Amino acid sequence: QSVLTQPPSVSGAPGQRVTISCAGSSSNIGIGYDVLWYQQFPGSAPRLLIYDNNNRPSGVPDRFSGSKSGTSASLAITGLQAEDEADYYCQSYDNSLSAYVFGTGTKVTVL
Amino acid sequence: QITVKESGPALVKPTQTLTLTCSFSGFSLSTDTVGVGWIRQPPGKALEWLALIYWNDDKRYSPSLKTRLTITKDTSKNQVVLTMTHMDPVDTGTYYCAHRDGWGPGYFDYWGQGTLVTVSS
């Protein structure tokens, strides 16, 4: 019942660039609410990766970047590394639901 | 630095009420714009936001679970408590609490390690 839709999986070779899409609607991303991205390793809590669409908290490598356009957002990982293999979730706020909403999640595999 | 930690029962029976406590340090829930939220994750599934309480005691709930949830804070103890009534096996999962920051709805920047709750008779 996730409101934000992500591809189930993306993969890439070390050093490549991969992008993860996050499709929303006019009641969340499209109306101007910020998009956040979280990284989650198996058995661990999510970690904030990107806030306010394209800002990185301290300690997050600059190979991670976020963007937003219309009703969608994207997370890009440039120079993919083995340690980037994890699940990634987008998050925003939905005005119609009056609720924080998460994406369906994307598993990144490093080939 | 900010830390948050969840505690509560690992096993609850169907129809029972779940009570989870979030204990935190490094910030005060009496400071403007601060909030603490609860998010859960069924095994192998996506994250789901449950509830949020702000510094001014404003409370927000997931619309699909609103009738079952209650969130409260004890500022003097640096704790936030979430109760969920009428537990069902589908409520099995890891429950996280997180510090909320930012303007507007904001974001969850510090998460606890999570506590696994299994609903079974």
Q: B4: exposed, middle or buried (C-beta count within 10 Å: 0-12, 13-18, 19+)?
A: buried
pLDDT band at B2 (very low <50, low <70, confident <90, very high): very high
In this complex, the residue of B46, B96, B107 whose CB is nearest that of residue A36 is B107
pLDDT tens, position by position, A26-48: 999 999 999 999 999 999 999 99
Mean pLDDT of chain B, nearest integer = 96
CA angle A55, B2, A87 (to 5 degrees): 50
Amino acid symbol at B54: Y
The reply to whether residue A91 touches residue B109, judged by beta carbons under 8 angstroms, is: no
Contacts of A103 in chain B (CB under 8 A): 46
> Dihedral, CA atoms, A93, B45, B93, A77, nearest 10 degrees?
-70
pLDDT tens per residue, range A51-103 = 999 999 999 999 999 999 999 999 999 999 999 999 999 999 999 999 999 99
Q: Going by C-beta distance under 8 Å and a sequence separation of 6 or more, which residues neighbour residue A6? A: A20, A21, A22, A23, A88, A89, A90, A103, A104, A105, A106
> Percentage of chain A surpassing pLDDT 70?
99
Identify which of B46, B105, B114 has the shortest CB distance to residue A100: B105
**DSSP conformation class of A7:** -
Contact (CB, 8 A) for B73 and B99: no
Q: Write the residue in A1, A33, A89 that is nearest to B105 by C-beta.
A: A33
Residue A110 CB coordination number (10 Å): 18
* Residue A50 phi, psi dihedral angles, 5° rounding: -140, 135
- The nearest CA of chain B is from the CA of A4 a distance in Å of 11
Whether A47 has its CB under 8 Å from any CB of chain B: the answer is yes
Mutate to test the interface with B, among A100, A102, A106 (most CBs of B within 10 A): A100
Q: Is the pLDDT of residue B66 over 90?
A: yes
Chain B touched by A55 (CB under 8 Å): no
Residue A1 has pLDDT above 80, yes or no: no
Q: Is B14 on the interface with A (CB under 8 A)?
A: no
Q: What is the bridge-based pairing of β-strands A18-23 and A9-12?
A: unpaired
| A7-29 pLDDT, tens digit each | 999 999 999 999 999 999 999 99
A31: helix, coil or strand?
A: helix
